[in-house]
Amino acid sequence: MKFCKKCFYSEEHPLNITFNEKGICSGCQVHDEKNIINWEEKIEKLKKIIEPYKKSKRSINNCIIPVSGDKDSYFIVYVVKEILGMNPLLVTYNNHYNTKIGIRNLSFLKTIFGCNHFNLTVQPQKVKKITLSTLKNFGSMYWHCIAGQTVFPVQIACKFKIPLIFWGVHQGVDQVGMFSHHDEVEMTRKYRKEHDLMGFEAEDLMKIDYSLTDKDIEQFIYPNDQEIENVGVRGIYLNNYIRWDTKAQHELMIKNFNYETEKLERTFDCYNNVACFHYTGIHDYLKFLKHGYSLITDHVNREIRFNRISRKQGGELIAYYSTQKFNNLDIFLKWLSIGKKDFFNYIDKFINRKILFKKESEWHLKNEFKDKDIILKKKDVNEIISFNSFSKRSKIKDNKKNYTLLGRGWLE
């Protein structure tokens, strides 16, 4: 298996990474643009793009921002409201796997920045039915989250005739370099289906699972092209106009707005995924089984590209975290009303046996990084990490026993 000479993505990456003649991946090449681009010009360009929307009197709000209790939400709202001078409507798809810290961050977000906020909580019974289906049919417990997060803002845009949506980072640009920053790619239905939703829109689920009905999936149906065209909906990614550095951005938000963070499973990054019980846990483990890498590789690659850690440190971090066990499976199983055996049976057929092998009941990558200078031995992680700024902890004590279901309480 071929790996990038700079970061740890391989040719098996699901987002079609390419390599140049020096063996450097497209993600690393596009990342290097960050050091060349004149970002002052870029933000000025963005200000010009949004000018007509700013003047529009069609709605109380002149743009939409999809937010959660984590993942740069504070930074995006900060930029759009404080730097671009827009009046955003915040929208959230409730992903049901909420931690208390996530709820806390989201609650403060709208208060701190003084924004209107819509939240969509789909009936839990429907979300569970869909999740059982996606787990069985393509090994995903997260499809409904991605589908909901990417469809609800567009539905609101059409319904309230607010055409402009601001997203933070486009992973096709930032992680894998599928596009250059200069392409200034915007949100498309095609990219959403192919890459975010693993090829399955809501209607496609019904074709593979006859137990699902129109009623089950109705909240996840993307508005049709005519509706989108009538309103002129477009989704702009800020990372095409701002030098995107999620670590620095979160640190600014911690300092200025008291964004709260938490030590997470299977990664050193305690900034990005604090609102979800499972993003760095079960969901991440499934990612490893399917693709042979997990979130720690994304985080390590990002830090290598910013020259904040060496490749050697990166390799050691991956070795340390990617084999870590995940917790909270019991909460998910209880929520979904399935047994542990069922869960492992469902996911078994999605294990990528082409690149993984089983040793002592654990799955490992067959052909690990070939660089001789990387010692892939487990060490105490504190010895490995020379930078320790990912360390702020929340004061909130999450009991780690139940999801907080935002406005609906939880069922025992």
Which of 20-28, 107-115, 127-135, 236-244 is the region at the interface with Zn ion (rule: CB under 5 A)?
20-28
Q: Residue 10 or 94: which CB sits closer to Zn ion?
A: 10
Residue 128: closest CA among 399, 407, 405: 405
Whose tokens are 């069609």? That residue is 58
One residue of 25, 46, 77, 317 binding Zn ion per CB under 5 A: 25
- Smallest distance from Zn ion to CB 4, Å: 3
Nearer to Zn ion, 6 or 81 (CB): 6
Report the nearest approach of Zn ion to the CB of residue 299 (Å). 14
Is 81 a binding residue for Zn ion by CB under 5 A? The answer is: no
State the nearest-atom distance from the C-beta of 7 to Zn ion, in Å: 3
- Check: CB of residue 71 under 8 Å from CB of residue 298: no
In the complex, the smallest distance separating the C-beta of residue 244 from Zn ion, rounded to whole angstroms, is 16
Q: What minimum distance in Å lies between the beta carbon of 24 and Zn ion?
A: 6
| Integer angstrom CA distances of residue 343 from 61, 141, 335, 382 | 44, 10, 12, 33
Phi, psi for 64 (deg, rounded to 5) = -120, 140
CA pair distance 279, 272, nearest whole angstrom:
10
**Which ranges of 218-305 would DSSP assign to H, the alpha helix?**
225-231, 246-257, 282-291, 295-305
Q: How far is the CB of 71 from Zn ion (least distance, A)?
A: 22
The interface region with Zn ion, picked from 28-36, 45-53, 155-163, 195-203 by CB under 5 A, is 28-36
**Residues touching Zn ion, count (CB under 5 A):** 5
Q: Closest approach of Cβ 109 to Zn ion, in Å? A: 33
Of residues 259-278, those binding Zn ion (CB under 5 A): none
Pick from 3, 13, 28, 384 the residue near Zn ion by CB under 5 A: 28
Strands 164-167, 234-237: pairing is: parallel
**CB of 20 or CB of 389, closer to Zn ion:** 20
Piece of the chain touching Zn ion by CB under 5 A; list 4-12, 138-146, 319-327, 394-402 = 4-12
Nearest to 60 by CA among 155, 162, 153: 162
Q: Which is nearer to Zn ion, 18 or 391 (CB)?
A: 18
Residue 145 engages Zn ion in binding (rule: CB under 5 A): no
Which is closer to Zn ion, CB of 28 or CB of 63?
A: 28
Cβ-based burial of 370 (10 A; exposed 0-12, middle 13-18, buried ≥19): exposed
| Smaller CB separation from Zn ion, 192 or 311 | 311
Task: Please identify, using beta-carbon distances, which residue of 96 and 170 lies nearer to Zn ion.
Answer: 170
| CB closer to Zn ion, 7 vs 50 | 7
Distance of alpha carbon 219 from alpha carbon 213, whole angstroms: 12
Query: End-to-end CA distance of the chain, in Å?
Result: 46
Q: Are 197 and 188 in contact (CB under 8 A)?
A: no
Minimum CB–partner distance for residue 22 and Zn ion (Å):
11
CA distances from 7 to 22, 201, 297, 307, 393 (A): 13, 32, 9, 11, 28
Cβ distance 274 to 102 under 8 Å?
yes
- Span of 7-15, 89-97, 280-288, 387-395 interacting with Zn ion by CB under 5 A: 7-15
> Does residue 7 belong to the site contacting Zn ion (CB under 5 A)?
yes
Q: Which residues pair with 66 in a beta bridge?
A: 91
Torsion of CA 172, 276, 258, 42, to 10 degrees: 10
Q: Which residues contribute to the site for Zn ion (CB under 5 A)? A: 4, 6-7, 25, 28
